[in-house]
Amino acid sequence: MRIVDIRETAVALKTNLRNAVFDFSEMTTSVVAVITDVIRDGKPVAGFAFNSTGRYACGAQMRDRFIPRILKAPPESLVNEAGDNLDPEKILACMMQREKPGGHTERSVAIGTIEVACWDAAAKIAGKPLHRVLAEKYNGGQVIDRVPCYVGGGWYQLGKGVRGLQDEIRMRLDEGYTTMKIKVGGAPIPEDVARVEAALKIVSSSDNLAVDANAAFDRERALAYARALAPYGLRWFEEPTDPLDYALLAEVVGIYDAPIGTGENLFSTQDVQNLIRFGGLRADRDIIQTDVPQSYGIAQFSRTLDMLKKNGWARKSVFPHGGNQMTLAIVGGFGLGGCEAYPGVFGIFAGFADNAKVENGYIKLSDLPGIGFEAQDALYAVMREVGAAG
């Protein structure tokens, strides 16, 4: 068997949401289709993925380097020992040929997106949901059927205000979610504190509310927010510093006793290792939030988890960024702490199966082969179009 083609296109997210750092009005994402010569139901098996949200489409690197390397490789070098399925770990190694160490963000998103699409294809060829394939390979065969899920929301929007924020949270609780994350850092501290207090009145417990600063703060503002938020004991305080400013993060951790969440803007095992080595993080409470399709993909993520384990971190402390079907399958397969959700945000690229229901903060995993994009009609229509383009 072999990969016969890999196709990519950029799609606009079309949203006016804003966090503390930027708005998403120009945001795009790369959609990838990996076409194989395996025929099922009269059609070639194709694997799909997209590069999560928050990083722009990266088709140039794919088309110039990574796709040609895969298509030029001997087909037998990219499959498992039995020769009956793709081996994404070998495909990752193929893409990394002639790549200089470091400079991860220049290539990690492009490579990771293709790699996740290869996993989708491999799981479809095996006739299994991706979360089951991953559980069998990377989690000792411990297959689960549901995943804890929290809402990433509370965005800054013109005219929304505190009452609008409370209405949003009520709506999500009515949908079955129990935990909400809201944005901070895009308003003066007193205004953001008022938003936190208003949100707490709705969720009832500080353990059900997290905040996200999107790495917006310099030292003065990071420490000021840490002091202002510390009394509330929130579920976690996310990205209070620049992703690579480990010294400042350690300062924040030193005055903030409640959990910190960070790591979604780090794209390699080495960077996450430096984060826990120099950032002052505490394995008994803090949260690692690596975005898998943006970080070289699933095989490399398994190595990050191995590194974390050697340093005393449990898988339940890992909550990958990205409220989408890919992340849901990955969280379930590896047995991680939970998954983010973006209901009503980022159009077709957010959310899960069209008929998915959240019950007491949990969402059921797809039983379709692969990632389960087929259960998202609008998104799958775009992916099929990319796969059909010759």
Q: Strand locations in the chain, DSSP E?
A: 3-12, 28-40, 43-50, 146-152, 180-183, 209-212, 237-238, 260-262, 287-288, 339-341, 358-359, 362-364
How far is Cα 128 from Cα 124, in angstroms, rounded to an integer? Answer: 6
* CATH 3.20.20.120 domain extents, the chain: 138-372
Q: Is pLDDT of 13 > 90?
A: no
% of residues, the chain, pLDDT over 90: 87
What confidence category does residue 52 fall into, taking pLDDT thresholds of 50, 70 and 90? Answer: confident
Structure confidence by residue, pLDDT tens digits, 356-388:
999 999 999 999 999 999 999 999 999 999 998
Higher pLDDT, 83 or 346: 83
Marked catalytic residue, from 128, 183, 201, 310: 183
Counting every residue written for the chain, the total comes to 390
More confident call, 14 vs 247: 247
Compute the distance between CA of residue 41 and CA of residue 33 in angstroms, rounded to an integer: 18
Give the chain's mean pLDDT. Answer: 95
pLDDT tens track for 130-182: 999 999 999 999 999 999 999 999 999 888 899 999 999 999 999 999 999 99
Q: Is 8 helix (H, G, I), strand (E, B) or coil?
A: strand
Say whether 310 is catalytic.
no
CATH 3.30.390.10 in the chain, residues?
Answer: 3-127+378-388
Architecture of domain 3-127+378-388: 2-Layer Sandwich (3.30)
Q: Burial letters for 249-270: b for 16+ Cβ neighbours within 10 Å, e otherwise?
A: bebbbeebebbbbbbbbbbbbe
Compute the C-alpha angle 298/103/213, nearest 5°: 75
Catalytic site residue 104? Answer: no
The reported pTM is 0.96
pLDDT tens-digit profile of 302-341?
999 999 999 999 999 999 998 999 999 999 999 999 999 9
CA gap 191, 164 in Å, rounded: 14
Residue type, 233: G
Supply the pLDDT for residue 16.
Answer: 66
User: Going by DSSP bridges, is the β-strand pair 287-288/260-262 parallel, antiparallel, or unpaired?
Assistant: parallel
Per CATH, the number for 138-372 is: 3.20.20.120
Q: Given the residues 14, 181, 321, 364, select the one marked as catalytic.
A: 321
**C-beta separation of 8 from 50 below 8 A:** no
Please state, in angstroms and as integers, the Cα–Cα distance from residue 208 to each residue in 191, 200, 331, 335, following that order.
20, 8, 20, 21
